[in-house]
Amino acid sequence: MATSNISVGNISLPNLGIGTWSWGDSLFWGYGSNYGEKEVREAFEAAVENGATFFDTAEVYGLGESERLLGKFIKETTQPIQIATKYFPLPWRFNQQSVKNALTDSLKRLQVERVDIYQVHMPFDFFMGQSTLMEALASEVKQGRILTVGVSNYSAQQMQQAYDLLAQYDVPLAVNQVRYSLLTRKIEQNGILETARKLGITILAYSPLDQGLLTGKYVPERVKEVTGARKLDPKFSAQGLSKIEPLISQLQQLGEKYQKTTVQIALNWLIAQKNVIPIPGAKNPQQAAENAGGSGWQLSAEDVQQLSLLSLNY
């Protein structure tokens, strides 16, 4: 199963990646209880086998454990792997050396000499300021330890500012990683998607299945089976699940039409938005293989539009 590649900044990436927040994270995801290194290694292998060779991680995921696991798995494969990781602008990181040191630590954990994308995890300024931060990132591009620069959770205005600051060094801003799915479409209204398209910035869509809501696994009749942090989310209540039933039903119907799963239809809708790369998580090989199947084919323009209209209510 082949993913298609798209141009992202000055590099080329598959149009679907895998998010690795759950790899090594015991606090939110329960790593080490009902799944562990064996399962995520198998998830990595299944993703790569199905053409999803782009992985997104961060230094804060599992306090570095996600990067360490990914680094270990990369050493075990002969396939070329693309990596995006993230720098967290903590208050005590107030100069360019802080960026250099954080990147060095990430590269050590990942056991690589460079990453494809290095993203700023949050648009916090604190004491460093965006100007110093972007200069530090541009410097790392020039040194070859980063191929291209990204941001995460930046507003349209913040994204424009980062783009302009990087342009002074002839470095493109490649991506803005934001929450985007059929059920979370705020970036279409707040200027982020429009600005990204205007500037040629790719959207990395995290939580593209809305924490599992779009899998069809959660239904009002089985609300007692909802566990963990999802219990606190009103979208996972019986009322919340009832509200999205028409959308889930439509995804299931399209799944039958295209011989795909609900998950694959939801991911393909995101890919159809152009210059959007969904990065669903995968805790086991079944999830990874299913996610990868969201790429390599296309929903019709009519079906894309129908889903877009139906999901506007949420």
Catalytic positions are 61
Phi and psi at 217, nearest 5°, equal: -70, -30
Closest among 21, 37, 100 to 72, alpha carbons compared: 37
Q: In the numeric block, which tokens belong to residue 110?
A: 């990942």
Q: Sheet harboring 54-56: ordered strands across? A: 18-19, 54-56, 82-87, 115-120, 146-152, 173-179, 202-206, 276-278
Closest among 170, 81, 187 to 134, alpha carbons compared: 170
